[in-house]
Amino acid sequence: QPRLAESGGGSVQAGGSLRLSCEGSEMTYDRYCMAWFRQVPGKERDRVASISINGGSITYADSVKDRFTISRDNAKKMLFLQMDTLQPEDTGVYFCAAGYVPSPFAVGYCPTEFGTWGQGTQVTVSS
């Protein structure tokens, strides 16, 4: 059973930076599109960024473009989210997610549904 474990959350003042990490295990890592989601109380989980199996296709939510950078290291089964110029509205629980890609040749593909989730890490940005 694939497993994901996030780390790197914390509290920071507006304008600061944080780097989230997510370690995968029990999975063929380069067969999964990876993504970061954010959830705030009372709202649905929103996708912040996603990265295809070879890193060739990356998408960002409009709210984080030019501030956040997603990356992956398939050899180490690691996913990262570098968050710069953080704002109070970035506050939330950040989840790492993996979506299986059936074909190893679909290097730019990410599914709409993600079947594997980490436990989440809290990010709090104060003004």
The pLDDT tens digits of the residues spanning 48-103 come to: 999 999 999 999 999 999 999 999 999 999 999 999 999 999 999 999 999 999 88
Residues 6+ apart with CB under 8 A from 50: 33, 34, 35, 36, 58, 59, 70, 110
pLDDT at 105 over 90: no
Residue-level pLDDT at 24: 97
| pLDDT tens-place string over residues 18-58 | 999 999 999 999 999 999 999 999 999 999 999 999 999 99
Q: What local confidence, expressed as pLDDT, does residue 106 receive?
A: 86
Residue whose C-alpha is closest to residue 102's, from 115, 91, 111? 111
